[in-house]
Structures are given as C-alpha cells and as structure tokens.
C-alpha cells in the first residue's frame, strides 16, 4: 500500500515512510540548468547530507524546497501529500523551514521577535504585542535545542554561533504551528565557523535528529560523513549518487563530486620555490593595538607566502586589517622594502603597493553591477587614464590581457561581474590588484572561502605564480591544510600574540597537529 493511500485510510503516516519526496524537479536559470530531474527522499528523523561542487545545484534545491524559488517542473510531496506552496510562508505551513547561508535574522530586534517573526500567533492580539507570551513561546523553541540564549536579548549582541542557534530555534517553531515535526534545511552553516563552533553545531544537528528531519548541505565532507545517515552527491544539477557514510570516505566523495580524485598535486606543492635571500619586502615591527594584538613582528621576503594561523579572536584578522589601513595600530611600524609606510587608510595602503583580497568577495571584493573590465581597473584607474578621461580602449586591452592570463571564464570583458561564478569572481578580485605594477604585498583573507574544489585549485596555482613573480603574500585561510600547503612560513597567533613560528618548505611541511597544538 502506498504511503498516500495509507494516509488516506488511516490518517497516519507509516513510520518508515518518507516525510519528503522530491520527484523529477527541474529548474532552469538563463543559460544554465540548475536542477535537472532531481529525485530524492528524506525519511523521518533522518539527517540527509547533500554535497557537491559549487554550482552543482545544492543551494538551488534547498531554495526550491523552502519556497524561495519556484521550480519549473516536477513535484514535491510532503508527508504523502503533493505540496502546492509557492513562497516561504507557504513552505513553513507545510512544515519546511530553512536556515539560510547568510544568516537571516533581524539584528536590531530581540531574539524572541526573530524566533516568532511572521508567526507570532497568540502572542500578538489585535496587533498588540504580549511580550511575556512572546518570550515564553520563544523560550520553548530555545529549550528544544538547549540553547542558553535569553529571548529578551538584542540579536546583534549575540555571537555568530549563538545567532546560529536562534536560527535553528526559529525553524523549529514550525512544529507548533503545523502540529507536525518540521523538515529543517541547513545550507552550509559551517563555512565561517571556527572549530569549536562547528562542534557545537554538529551537536545541535544530533539533537535535531530527535525532533525533526534534516537536509544538510556542506563543503566539509568529513563532517557530513560523520553526521549524516545518508549522503546524496550532486553534480551539474543532477543527483549522481546516494551513499552510505559508514562505507564511504572523503576520497570517494571527492571522486564522485568532481569526476576525479584529489591528487598529491592539489596544492601544487611541487611548484613551491623557496624565496632567494633578500631584503624583506614587508616588515612588521612590534605592532600593537591593545585588546586586538600585542607586539606582532614578522618579515615577508619577496616571493614568500606567510601564513597566519589562529582561531577566532587570535587577532590575525585585525593584523591583516591594519596592514591594509582599515584599522590603525597604537604602536609599532610597518616597513615596505625597508622604508616606513604610512597606512592610515585603505587608499594609502593601495598607494603604498598593498592589495587586499577579502573573504567576502561579493560585498567587498567586486562591484557586482559593474563590468569585469571596470572592476579590474577600480583600484588603479590611473593605469587607463588619459588626462582626466578613461581610455576605454586601454581598459579593454588591459582587461582582455588579464582575463587571458588568469583564465577567467567570462562571456566578454564587458559582462557584469555579479553574474560570474564564485571562482571567477575571486580571480577578478585578484586581478584588480595584479594590474598594478606597483603591487608589493598581497593580503589574502580566506581566498578560497566558498569556492569549489576546482576553483580552489586554480587559486592555488595563481598563488604559486604570484610567488614566482616576487610578490610578498600574507595568507589567512579557513583550513590548516590550506595554510600549511600554501605557505613558506607560518606564524601562529593566540590571544593577540605570536606564539610560534614554523618553516614550511615544500620538502618538510609541518603537520596539522603541530600547528593546532599552538593555536589552542
């Protein structure tokens, strides 16, 4: 007997029936088929891992399920009944809630207001708030995941991890509204979390298992394998494999995701050349900003990559912001090619020959509405100025040259930068600095964040090339593996101070354990 038939007869769903079935869902965006006849099912109290390269369709699938984007064809069956919703509120009434990639909380209102937002129910009567009732109801949701967050707290005063908990609590509120266990969609919630926060989150997913069914999208394959009951692999908009985590490993997932395995040459370590002894290109001496970092000193030679390892709050981010003139130090100095540099603002840092590739390329690296060519000359407009006017011809030539040199995939150099894929946007945000012949130092702030395996490999290759070109680089990275593989030398920061310095030549890379021991 089918689940739907049984539901009709008895009014209850059999225990092992899927709570959610996706049947042949297809979604086209202009020029690309984001979802191609996707079929999958989610069982009760199951954690379903969804992995794939960037652009494989994971996020699109979640958005279709959450009611953010309509699908073109196919159907979604929730608890045996075909779903008809076409917006987020409708999806929630069906019992599907999503925790979005970029946290979807209102910063300036209380935790309780966020949790109950748009679904205040009896906590708001005739437009009037009953705060005590609102806080009580929010507390019920927070208790489900044992979150120690006060419903009355202002949301922006919370840490990232606490806000993540509030998001989960918000989604779990669906349960009371529809009188059924919710289906929770988690989209890459771990990308900007530090190790400890990741562990908290995975503990939460374990807890969710008892009161919800979860679809979990992540790039952290080992964690996906650890927490999931089943794993679907997506590639080019299709579900290409269903795996049992107990019998699979990360290597196998990589193979299926990219159609090839990760080879030894992934980080192109063989391409790493040791810098010639020379005067340091960048010299940081006794840099101090109370409560941020203390007495930070290091030298970076031409062609050298200096990795800075450290957990959140170690001060490494602030040191990089100071290098780029976005945060002023209290004392200490920065020398470029032996001369003291005044870096009171990003504009002065650019003048001095420092480039900064930000972690959040969409909001800080590129300007989405501008063309690829315009983005490239953004920081160095003087390269294409003739008198007071921009020489379009020169700009075009420059853009075409760098599109070729970095193999940026664009329909034309006049295409809108916002339409490029993540990897190509990152190359563009690098090119923005490389067009300058004055560039001496490049600060790479999580240069591969959110990129898929293929795009990461291309960024690594680029870093090697730039190193050959004699550029000094300072690297902050999401993973230790990446830091160790790319860097010539590594400094480890903890609580604002440098606690260790390690050499990392291609022939003798330190182990991750050696670095972690100093970090925490």
Partner 1 sequence: MTVNVGVSAAPARSPWQGRAAEFARTRGSLIALIVLVVAFTAGNPRFVSLQNIHSIADAAAIVAVVAVGQTFVILMGAIDLSVEGVMSVSGVTISLLVANDRNSLDLGLLAIPVVLALGALIGFAAGVANTRLRIPSFMATLGFWAIGLGAATVLFGGSPPIIEQQSFLDIGLGHIFGFTKISYIALAVVLFAWVLQRYTRFGRYAYVIGGDESVARLSGINVDRYKILIFTFSGTMFALASILATSELGVGDANTGTGYLFTAITAVVIGGTLLSGGRGGIMQTLIGSLVIAVIVNGMILVGINPLAQQGIEGAIILLAVALTGWPLRRPLRVIK
* Residue 161 sits in the site that holds partner 1 (CB under 8 A): no
CB atoms within 10 A of CB 439: 19
Residue closer to partner 1 by CB (options 331, 363) is: 363
Contact call for residue 291 and partner 1 (CB under 8 A) = yes
In angstroms, the CA 140 to CA 134 distance is 10
Residue 420 burial (10 A CB sphere; 0-12, 13-18, 19+):
buried
Q: How far apart are CA 235 and CA 243, in angstroms?
A: 14
Q: Does 143 bind partner 1 (CB under 8 A)?
A: no
* Maximum pairwise Cα distance, the chain: 83
Residue 495 in contact with partner 1, rule: CB under 8 A: no
How would DSSP label each residue in 251-269?
HHHHHHHHSS---GGGG-G
CA pair distance 341, 324, nearest whole angstrom = 11
Segment interacting with partner 1 (CB under 8 A) among 114-122, 329-337, 455-463, 511-519: 114-122
Return the half-sphere exposure (C-beta side, CA atoms, 13 A cut-off) of residue 235. Answer: 14
* Min separation Cβ 271 and partner 1, Å: 29
Q: Is 118 in the site for partner 1 (CB under 8 A)?
A: yes
Residues 49, 103: Cα–Cα separation, whole Å: 20
Q: Does 159 bind partner 1 (CB under 8 A)?
A: no
Candidates 185, 231, 309, 359: give the one binding partner 1 (CB under 8 A): 359
Listing from the earlier edge strand, what are the strands of the sheet with 47-51? 96-99, 183-187, 213-217, 47-51, 230-235, 238-243
Which of 331, 363, 479, 511 contacts partner 1 by CB under 8 A?
Answer: 363
Out of 53, 113, 175, 374, the only residue in the binding site for partner 1 (CB under 8 A) is: 113
* Sequence-distant (≥ 6) Cβ neighbours of residue 83 within 8 angstroms: 75, 76, 77, 91, 94
In which residue are the tokens 């990589």 written?
Answer: 254
Q: Which stretch binds partner 1 (CB under 8 A): 212-220, 259-267, 317-325, 433-441?
A: 317-325
Closest CB 118 distance from partner 1, rounded Å? 4
499 binds partner 1 (CB under 8 A): no
* Nearest distance, CB of residue 326 and partner 1, angstroms: 5
Minimum distance, C-beta of residue 109 to partner 1, in the bound complex (Å): 5
CB crowding 466-501: b at 16 or more within 10 Å, else e: bbeeebbbbbbbbebebbbbbbbbbbbbbebebebe
Helix (H, G, I), strand (E, B) or coil at 196: helix
87 binds partner 1 (CB under 8 A): yes
Q: Is 109 one of the binding residues for partner 1 (CB under 8 A)? A: yes
The residues, any chain, with a CB within 8 Å of residue 347's CB and separated by 6 or more, are: 325
Q: Taking contact as CB under 8 A, which single stretch among the options 10-18, 238-246, 326-334, 377-385 is the one that binds partner 1?
A: 326-334
Could you say whether residue 445 binds partner 1 (CB under 8 A)? yes
Question: Contacting partner 1 (CB under 8 A), which of 53, 317, 458, 478?
Answer: 317
Cβ proximity to partner 1: between 123 and 399 the closer is 123
Spatial neighbors of 128 by CB under 8 A, at least 6 apart, are: none
- Rounded Cα gap, residues 239 and 211, in angstroms: 27
Minimum distance of partner 1 from residue 205's CB (angstroms): 22
User: Is 100 an interacting residue with respect to partner 1 (CB under 8 A)?
Assistant: yes
The tokens describing 386, both together, are 């003739």
107 binds partner 1 (CB under 8 A): yes
Which of 310/358 has CB closer to partner 1? Answer: 358
292 near partner 1 (CB under 8 A): yes
CB of 350 to partner 1, least distance (A): 13
Pick the closer one to partner 1 by CB: 255 or 370: 370
Taking the least distance from each CB to partner 1, the nearer of 63 and 380 is: 63
Select the span of 45-53, 115-123, 410-418, 430-438 touching partner 1 (CB under 8 A). 115-123
Q: Which is nearer to partner 1, 318 or 458 (CB)?
A: 318
**Shortest distance in whole angstroms from residue 60 CB to partner 1:** 16
Stretch that binds partner 1, among 106-114, 237-245, 418-426, 459-467 (CB under 8 A): 106-114
Three-state SS for 222? Answer: helix
Nearer to partner 1 among residue 248 and residue 312 (C-beta): 312
Q: Give dist(CA 195, CA 182) in Å, integer.
A: 28
Q: Which structure tokens are listed for 61? A: 């699938």
Determine if 345 is a binding residue for partner 1 (CB under 8 A): yes
Per CB under 8 A, 346 contacts partner 1: yes
Told to check if 88 binds partner 1 by CB under 8 A, we report yes
Nearest residue to 289 (alpha-carbon basis) of 257, 331, 254, 261: 331
User: Applying CB under 8 A, does 318 fall inside the site for partner 1?
Assistant: yes
Q: Is 326 in the site for partner 1 (CB under 8 A)?
A: yes
Q: Where are the alpha helices (DSSP H) in 228-345?
A: 250-258, 316-323
**DSSP-H helix ranges across 298-371:** 316-323, 346-352
Cβ closer to partner 1: 426 or 467? 426
Count helices and strands (H / E) in the chain: 18, 24
The contact set with partner 1 (CB under 8 A) reads 68, 87-90, 92, 100, 104-109, 113, 117-120, 124, 127-129, 131, 291-292, 317-318, 321, 325-328, 345-346, 358-360, 363-364, 445
């Amino acid at each position: 007997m089918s689940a739907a038939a049984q539901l009709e007869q008895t009014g209850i769903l059999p225990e092992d029936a899927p709570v959610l079935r996706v049947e042949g869902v297809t979604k086209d965006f202009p020029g690309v088929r984001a979802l191609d006849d996707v079929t999958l099912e989610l069982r009760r109290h199951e954690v379903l891992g969804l992995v794939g390269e960037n652009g494989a369709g994971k996020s699109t699938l979640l958005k279709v399920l959450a009611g953010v984007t309509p699908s073109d064809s196919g159907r979604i069956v929730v608890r045996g009944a075909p779903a008809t919703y076409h917006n987020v509120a409708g999806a929630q009434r069906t019992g599907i809630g999503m925790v979005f990639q970029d946290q979807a909380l209102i910063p300036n209102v209380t935790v309780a207001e966020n949790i109950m937002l748009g679904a205040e129910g009896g906590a708001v009567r005739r437009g009037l708030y009953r705060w005590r009732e609102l806080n009580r109801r929010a507390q019920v949701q927070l208790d489900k995941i044992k979150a120690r967050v006060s419903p009355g707290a202002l949301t922006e005063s919370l840490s990232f991890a606490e806000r993540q908990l509030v998001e989960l609590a918000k989604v779990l509120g669906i349960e009371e509204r529809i009188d059924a266990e919710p289906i929770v969609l988690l989209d890459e919630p771990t990308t900007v979390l530090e190790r400890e926060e990741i562990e908290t989150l995975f503990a939460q997913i374990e807890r969710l298992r008892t009161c919800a069914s979860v679809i979990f999208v992540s790039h952290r394959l080992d964690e996906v394998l650890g927490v999931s009951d089943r794993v679907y692999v997506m590639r080019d908009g299709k579900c290409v494999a269903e795996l049992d985590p107990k019998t699979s490993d990360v290597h196998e997932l990589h193979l299926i995701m990219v159609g090839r395995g990760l080879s030894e040459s992934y980080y192109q370590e063989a391409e790493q050349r040791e810098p010639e002894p020379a005067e340091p290109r960048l010299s940081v001496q006794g840099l101090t900003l109370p409560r941020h970092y203390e007495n930070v000193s290091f030298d970076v030679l031409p062609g050298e990559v200096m990795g800075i390892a450290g957990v959140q709050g170690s001060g490494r981010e602030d040191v990089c912001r100071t290098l780029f003139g976005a945060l002023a130090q209290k004392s200490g100095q920065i020398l470029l090619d032996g001369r003291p540099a005044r870096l009171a603002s990003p504009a002065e840092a650019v003048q001095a020959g420092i480039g900064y590739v930000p972690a959040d390329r969409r909001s800080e690296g590129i300007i989405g509405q501008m063309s690829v060519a315009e983005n490239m000359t953004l920081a160095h407009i003087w390269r294409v100025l003739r008198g007071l006017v921009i020489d379009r011809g020169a700009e075009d030539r420059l853009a075409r040259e760098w599109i070729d040199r970095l193999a940026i995939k664009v329909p034309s150099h006049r295409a809108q930068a916002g339409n490029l894929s993540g990897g190509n946007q990152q190359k563009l945000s690098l090119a923005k600095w490389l067009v300058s012949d004055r560039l001496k130092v490049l600060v790479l702030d999580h240069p591969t964040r959110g990129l898929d395996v293929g795009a990461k490999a291309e960024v690594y290759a680029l870093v090697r090339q730039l190193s050959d070109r004699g550029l000094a680089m300072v690297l902050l990275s999401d993973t230790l593996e990446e830091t160790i593989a790319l860097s010539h030398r590594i400094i480890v920061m903890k609580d604002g101070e440098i606690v260790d310095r390690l050499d990392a030549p291609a022939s003798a890379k330190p182990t991750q354990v050696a670095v972690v021991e100093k970090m925490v």
